[in-house]
């Protein structure tokens, strides 16, 4: 299985806060208010106070909806919603683009995002190298290829395969390229994914690389959130919308069928069926191949919720459930063994494995006992790599006889190669990489035994290398030029102590000679969810627009992320979500104690799940911050499951339809927790009309309620681009300019 995928990536509740009241949604509550936070940060009892004015009288879905006076803003293209967007955009653009800094910021950001000296992200494509490229002349981009020898040079000779700007113009569509899936080993037939306006939903068309044309009468799927794999040249495995009753409540497929060339979706043959009540991102087929393109295994993942799943193997066309942990990440197949990370502690047949262990097990041994019989694999070791306490597996590439692994050690990148030696285990050879940088794995080739490897840091531009897995060596291919002056800056790592005593690491990038007097304008980035790690990254637009102007950048590695493996993530799941918010607040206080900054000069930024973090941080701790960029956010956590594709995240946040879970979600949900008379800073909310991953209604409603309460705020909604902001680098430059104008106004002026 190989794809070219393109994408661009909180102490007790409050310090000095007032407790609030919740009502359970059960009849037993008898309409009596229940104090759900009746103690201060030191555990002392506080006086019970009234709930926020818009807090629901009951937490059933009907009760939550009844208390919501902005439901009309959930209609994506509704008349009232679009009128609201137009008026908010008008007011906010006057403030942001009218600032004398805006045009300078926009021009600087565009120069960076469209620069032709960027490293072209490579993928192995047949005998050559593929790349998708966007610049000022091609804002929608071109898919192109060259040879590896040419790619190594300073001026590769590129052959255009598909021009998205030209295609959009010819077809009158706002096409956004969302990747290509090519059939190994020759990669001459590809499935092209095209999004109209940047949504996650795509149309799929078969493309011939030899003619550089779409195939007449070839495979073609209408717009949808498809899960597709090549089975052979004339057969696809497809999970998609097959009609009424074939999608989950999250809007994802739960049925897999084989689709033969020339067939319609209605004629496809079912090979696997989950259930309509399944959670997560929908059932997903994966076809694994050897270096010659022969199929070695077909694996189907059926998600039960955001993180738990069942894993099935198609054997002679019939699904067989594999005995794997419910929380698992599958990386590939090598010598008949499934390579996977156990994302939870796991015991099976006398073996005990830790959460985070990288393992390899013979597929037949993973079959149920009734199917596996008395299969015994003599002395075969399943343990590839066990991370230490402050380590975590970051990425894995499975080759023909080796596995290449990038991992983090206290949020610093490392890499190693592990060779499959059967009964002699998995001998390890470390790959020498620069110290104190992030290490990322790119595309890999089993036929060549090679993997693209990138390294970068906050002040170190990316370097792209090619790893020879057999020799465990790196050969530098390209190094990106510096896009901002780093001569005055330094990056340091500190730790803050959260409410429960947990040490929370964070990075500070700042001027080397900065005075520690609390006066330094500082932006703090956080995420804290979905086991997503925030590793050191070169952010050229941030460096140019913020660091060069004397700003400080902080990246907080709070719980909920994956920086220290599955346990770091699961510590902040569901009812423990408050730990992530506590961690973020602890970092803010630590910055103040170190005199790096002060609340007057501290702003925060988060998008998507980071929008939960930032909106909650403002409502719980307005005394800590003077700015917040809240982008593409989840904010109404009592209705997030009602807004596509929110129900797929119930495994992360909990289910607001369950009274107990609604009660603890309500404690932090920023939309319901807004109160009058609070020292909230002027926040900047921004989202995208065509975002079909995190519904724009979240940001709209939060802005509307802020306005209802008389709070100054800024709201801007772009009308194209989707969730990932990868549709157009020129538009993306305007986005970053707006962000940094706002941050400059709040923190520097």
Q: How far is CA 749 from CA 81, 122, 656, 742, in A?
A: 33, 42, 41, 10
Q: Which residue has the tokens 């019939």?
A: 318
Please tell me the predicted confidence (pLDDT) of residue 379.
46
What does the buried/exposed string (b/e) look like for 379-412 if buried means 16 or more CB atoms within 10 Å of the residue's CB? ebebebbebeebbbbbbbbbbbebbbbbbbebbb
- Under-50 pLDDT residues of the chain: 1-48, 370-373, 375-379
- Cβ-in-10-Å burial (0-12, 13-18, 19+) of 349 comes to exposed
DSSP string, 202-218: EEEEEEETTTTEEPTT-
Q: Which residues pair with 683 in a beta bridge?
A: 713
Q: 215 near 231, Cβ under 8 Å?
A: no
Q: Beta strands 328-334 and 337-342: pairing type?
A: antiparallel
DSSP letter for 547, please: G
Q: 716 near 88, Cβ under 8 Å?
A: yes
- What average pLDDT does the structure give for the chain? 92
What does the buried/exposed string (b/e) look like for 512-550 if buried means 16 or more CB atoms within 10 Å of the residue's CB? eebeeebebbbbbbbbbbbbbbbbbbbbbbbbbbbbbee
The residue among 632, 609, 653, 621 whose CA lies nearest residue 717 is: 632
Residue ranges of the alpha helices (H) in 518-564? 540-545
DSSP letter for 15, please: S
Active site residues: 608, 723
Q: 191 near 228, Cβ under 8 Å?
A: yes
The residue among 283, 317, 324 whose CA lies nearest residue 298 is: 317
Q: At what angle do helices 79-96 and 729-747 cross, to 10 degrees?
A: 60
- The model carries a pTM of 0.91
CA distance 279 to 76: 23
Is 542 strand, coil or helix? helix
The first and second tokens of residue 246, run together, are 């074939």
CA distance 389 to 652: 23
CA distance 361 to 170: 50
Is 683 strand, coil or helix? strand
Q: Beta strands 683-688 and 713-718: pairing type?
A: parallel
Q: 520 near 514, Cβ under 8 Å?
A: yes
DSSP string, 613-650: HHHHHHHH-GGG-SEEEEES----TTSGGGSTTGGGGH
Q: How far is CA 577 from CA 13, 120, 631, 691, in A?
A: 11, 39, 20, 25
Q: Which residue has the tokens 């299985």?
A: 1
CA distance 191 to 220: 9
Q: Which residue has the tokens 């610093």?
A: 412
CA distance 492 to 527: 20
CA distance 365 to 446: 24
CA distance 552 to 543: 10
Query: 176: which residues sit within 8 A by CB, 6+ positions away?
Result: 140, 164, 194, 195, 196, 197, 198, 722, 726, 727
Q: Length of the chain, please?
A: 749
Is 528 strand, coil or helix? coil
């Amino acid at each position: 299985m190989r794809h070219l995928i393109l994408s661009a990536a909180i102490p007790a509740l409050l310090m000095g806060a007032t407790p609030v009241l919740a009502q359970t949604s059960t009849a037993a509550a008898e309409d009596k208010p229940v104090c759900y936070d009746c103690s201060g940060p030191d555990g002392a009892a506080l006086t019970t106070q009234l709930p926020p004015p818009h807090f629901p009288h009951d937490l059933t879905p009907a009760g939550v909806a009844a208390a919501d006076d902005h439901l009309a803003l959930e209609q994506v293209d509704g008349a009232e919603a679009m009128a609201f967007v137009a008026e908010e955009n008008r007011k906010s653009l006057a403030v942001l683009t009218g600032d004398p800094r805006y045009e300078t910021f926009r021009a600087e950001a565009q120069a960076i995002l469209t620069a032709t000296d960027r490293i072209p992200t490579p993928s192995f494509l047949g005998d050559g190298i593929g790349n998708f490229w966007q610049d000022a002349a091609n804002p929608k981009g071109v898919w192109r290829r060259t040879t590896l020898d040419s790619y190594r040079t300073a001026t590769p000779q590129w052959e255009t395969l598909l021009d998205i700007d030209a295609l959009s113009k010819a077809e009158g569509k706002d096409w956004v390229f969302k990747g290509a899936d090519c059939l190994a080993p020759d990669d001459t037939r590809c499935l092209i994914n095209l999004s109209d306006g940047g949504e996650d939903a795509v149309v799929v068309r078969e493309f011939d690389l030899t003619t550089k044309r779409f195939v007449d009468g070839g495979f073609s799927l209408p717009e949808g959130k498809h899960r597709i794999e090549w089975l052979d040249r004339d057969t696809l495995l497809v999970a998609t919308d097959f009609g009424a009753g074939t999608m989950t409540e999250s809007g994802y497929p739960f049925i897999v069928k084989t689709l033969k060339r020339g067939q319609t979706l209605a004629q496809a043959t079912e090979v696997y069926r989950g259930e309509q009540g399944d959670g997560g991102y929908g059932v997903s087929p994966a076809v694994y191949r050897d270096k010659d393109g022969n199929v070695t295994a077909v694996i189907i993942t059926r998600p039960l919720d955001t993180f738990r799943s069942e894993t099935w193997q198609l054997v002679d066309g019939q699904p067989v459930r594999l005995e794997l942990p419910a929380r698992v990440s599958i990386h590939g197949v090598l010598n008949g063994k499934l390579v996977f990370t156990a994302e939870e502690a796991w015991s099976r047949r006398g073996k005990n494995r830790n959460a985070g262990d990288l393992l390899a097990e013979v597929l037949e041994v993973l079959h149920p006992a009734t199917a596996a019989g008395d299969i015994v694999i003599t002395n075969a070791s399943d343990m590839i790599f066990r991370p230490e306490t402050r380590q975590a597996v970051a990425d894995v590439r499975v080759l023909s006889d080796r596995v290449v692994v990038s991992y983090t050690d206290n949020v610093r990148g490392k890499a190693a190669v592990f060779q499959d030696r059967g009964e002699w285990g998995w001998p390890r050879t470390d790959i020498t990489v620069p110290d104190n940088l992030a290490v990322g794995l790119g595309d890999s080739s089993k036929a060549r035994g090679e993997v693209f490897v990138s390294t970068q840091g906050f002040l170190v531009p990316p370097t792209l290398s090619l790893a020879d897995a057999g020799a465990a060596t790196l050969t530098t291919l390209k190094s990106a030029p510096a896009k901002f002056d780093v001569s005055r800056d330094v990056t340091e790592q500190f730790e803050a102590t959260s409410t429960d005593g947990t040490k929370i690491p964070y990075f500070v990038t700042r001027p080397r000679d900065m005075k520690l007097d609390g006066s330094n304008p500082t932006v703090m980035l956080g995420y804290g969810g979905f086991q997503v790690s925030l590793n050191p990254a070169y952010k050229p637009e941030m460096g140019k627009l913020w660091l060069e102007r004397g700003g400080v950048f902080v990246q907080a590695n709070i719980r909920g992320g994956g920086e220290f493996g599955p346990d770091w993530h699961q510590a902040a799941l569901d009812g423990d979500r408050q730990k992530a918010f506590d961690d973020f607040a602890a970092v803010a206080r630590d910055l103040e104690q170190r005199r790096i900054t002060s609340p007057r000069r501290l702003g925060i930024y988060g998008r998507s799940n980071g929008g939960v973090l930032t909106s909650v941080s403002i409502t719980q701790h307005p005394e800590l911050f003077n700015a917040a960029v809240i982008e593409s956010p989840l904010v109404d956590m009592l209705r997030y499951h009602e807004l596509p594709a929110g129900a797929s995240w119930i495994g992360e946040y909990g289910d607001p339809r369950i009274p107990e879970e609604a009660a603890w979600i309500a404690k932090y949900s920023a939309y319901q927790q807004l109160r009058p008379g609070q020292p909230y800073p002027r926040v900047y909310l921004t989202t995208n009309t065509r975002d079909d991953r995190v519904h724009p209604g979240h940001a709209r409603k939060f802005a509307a309620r802020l306005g209802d309460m008389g709070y100054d705020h800024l709201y801007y909604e772009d009308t194209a681009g989707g969730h990932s902001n990868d549709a157009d680098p020129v538009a993306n430059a305007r986005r970053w300019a707006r962000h940094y104008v706002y941050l400059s106004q709040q923190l520097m002026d």
